[in-house]
Amino acid sequence: MGKRDELIAKYAADLRDKCGMTPDIDLLTKVTKGCGPTIYSSDASVVAASDKAELERIKKNFLVRKLGVPADADLDGGIAASIDRYGRSNRNKHRAVFYYLLVKHFGRESVYA
């Protein structure tokens, strides 16, 4: 099992244990691959949910540009819902898991089809 497969298993466990949901492994794998090499960097692999600049980058680069969510949609609400689902007190929000939650929240699974 390769490093990416190990990380995907870890992310799936987070979705089950911390988010209380059964992960779609195929979608999770595609979202993880879409994150690219950031999943291997200890700093870039996690989302700083309290950093306003990072949340703005996620809105602009991931939600609007990658997923095609309209800029006038409730992007902040989707991000807040994903943070709540992952657990506000959880300091280590893995980027791939957070993006997976956003994909599910906005119903954009077709982007990864």
Helix (H) or strand (E) holding 94: strand 93-94
Q: Which fold has domain 3-112?
A: Recoverin; domain 1 (1.10.238)
Strand, helix or coil for residue 91: coil
pLDDT at 4: 95
Enter the pTM of the model.
Answer: 0.95
User: Which region holds residue 69: left if phi is over 0, alpha if psi is between -120 and 50, else beta?
Assistant: beta
Mean local confidence (pLDDT), 36-61: 95
C-alpha 90/C-alpha 106 separation (Å) is 22
pLDDT at 49: 92
